[in-house]
């Protein structure tokens, strides 16, 4: 019989080396999957998937130059920018998401950082969504400590702020902020007592070493993010990343498996890119330890599988929605 995987023996580690992570990526696929499944089962019911629904509360016109994003004002993507949504509409959308089975409602704004006036409005949205009995998540760009504290007071459960790629590849994707800026905001979110949702994007022309570097950056945070979204780039015409070569599906599954093994207690989210992914690849991702998805026909600005499609997929795989994480 195989010896128990070493990662099962102890509490989550934040001392992973790049070599250890590279060695996980290099395992024969059956061995990697066995290790990931074993870790998954030690911490979660492998038939349960947490469901989050996204809403873009403020779309487009963003001053940042993220090379993948439809919402940057620096790229000609044809996206129509809009103002911050009204509270009532946001709450109506959240109620719909709850009725459809989502346990968490994630609100995204195309800002470099929120202005204090905007934060007032977002705090009302957070409090309103929380009052509906849902977990709340927002992603608003960079935050100061006092801003994070205000969100916490409003009832915010999670803040999404992705590291996106390795520290080395970052400047090839974004020039208007640094990796350290991202780490600083993550530290402010932690200090405010808000759960961290932090992951990245693959399929942006990064190397295999960059994918090791992204997992290393996430898994060596002093406390692992409670949610780790792994996005497959949604290629947007007009962005610098619009013509990137998609990652080979098995490499994507490996990314999920290594995230699961290195961050055993985190929710690993199979995030953007499912619309372009076969059901078989998605099934392998769930086997590899993904236990969260974005649900509903739209991500922020791009399509996601419609609810009925996901319900059929869950039924075929015998998966069910986790009520709350």
Residues 192-251 that bind ligand DTB (CB under 6 A): 199, 229, 231, 234
Strands (E) in the chain, as ranges, are 48-58, 104-109, 135-139, 158-160, 195-197, 200-202, 227-232, 267-270, 292-294, 320-322
77 binds ligand SF4 (CB under 6 A): no
67 binds ligand SAM (CB under 6 A): no
Our measurement of the distance from residue 123's CA atom to the centroid of its chain's CA atoms, rounded to an integer in Å, reads: 21
Per CB under 6 A, the segment of 20-28, 151-159, 233-241, 307-315 that binds ligand SAM is: 233-241
Residues 17-56 that bind ligand SAM (CB under 6 A): none
72 binds ligand SF4 (CB under 6 A): yes
Q: Which two tokens stand for residue 81?
A: 């920018």
Quote the CA–CA distance of 138 and 147 in Å, as a whole number.
12
Strands (E) in 207-299, as ranges, are 227-232, 267-270, 292-294
* DSSP letter (8 states) at residue 319: -
139 binds ligand SAM (CB under 6 A): yes
**Catalytic pick from 35, 177, 197, 254?**
197
Quote the CA–CA distance of 185 and 170 in Å, as a whole number.
16
Per CB under 6 A, the segment of 45-53, 68-76, 123-131, 217-225 that binds ligand SF4 is: 68-76
Please answer whether residues 196 and 158 qualify as being in contact, where contact means their C-beta atoms are separated by less than 8 angstroms. yes
Quote the CA–CA distance of 21 and 211 in Å, as a whole number.
10
**Catalytic pick from 35, 104, 106, 235?**
106
Per CB under 6 A, the segment of 16-24, 61-69, 188-196, 237-245 that binds ligand SF4 is: 61-69
110 binds ligand SF4 (CB under 6 A): yes
Residue 285 among the catalytic residues: no
Residue 123 among the catalytic residues: no
Helix orientation angle between 29-43 and 18-25, rounded to the nearest 10 degrees: 110
Residues 260-299 that bind ligand SF4 (CB under 6 A): none
Interface with ligand DTB (CB under 6 A): 54, 70, 106, 108, 139, 160, 162, 199, 229, 231, 234, 271-272, 299-302
């Amino acid at each position: 019989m195989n010896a128990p995987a070493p990662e099962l023996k102890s509490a989550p580690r934040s001392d992973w080396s790049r070599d250890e992570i590279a060695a996980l990526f290099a395992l024969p696929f059956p061995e990697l999957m066995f290790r990931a499944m074993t870790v998954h089962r030690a911490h979660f019911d492998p038939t349960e998937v947490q469901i989050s629904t996204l809403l873009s509360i403020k779309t487009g016109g963003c001053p940042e130059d993220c090379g993948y994003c439809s919402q940057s004002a620096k790229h000609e993507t044809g996206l129509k920018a809009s103002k911050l949504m009204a509270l009532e509409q946001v709450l109506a959308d959240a109620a719909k998401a709850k009725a459809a089975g989502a346990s968490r409602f994630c609100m995204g704004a195309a800002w470099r950082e929120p202005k204090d006036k905007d934060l007032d409005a977002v705090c009302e949205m957070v409090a309103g969504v929380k009052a509906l009995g849902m977990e709340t998540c927002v992603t608003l760009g960079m935050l100061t400590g006092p801003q994070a504290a205000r969100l916490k007071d409003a009832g915010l459960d999670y803040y999404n702020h992705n590291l996106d790629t390795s520290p080395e590849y970052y400047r090839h994707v974004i020039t208007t902020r640094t990796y350290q800026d991202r780490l600083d905001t993550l530290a402010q979110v932690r200090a405010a007592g808000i759960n961290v949702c932090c992951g990245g994007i693959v399929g942006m022309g990064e190397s295999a070493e960059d994918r090791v570097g992204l997992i290393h950056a996430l898994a060596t945070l002093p406390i692992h993010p409670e949610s780790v979204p792994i996005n497959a780039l949604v290629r947007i015409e007009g962005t610098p990343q619009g013509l990137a070569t998609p990652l080979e599906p098995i490499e994507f599954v490996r990314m999920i498996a290594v995230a699961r093994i290195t961050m055993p207690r985190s929710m690993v989210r199979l995030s953007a890119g499912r619309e372009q992914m076969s059901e078989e690849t998605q099934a392998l991702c769930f086997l590899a330890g993904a236990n969260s998805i974005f649900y509903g026909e739209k991500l922020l600005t791009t399509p996601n599988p419609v609810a009925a499609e996901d319900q059929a997929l869950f039924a075929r795989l015998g998966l069910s929605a986790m009520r709350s994480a």
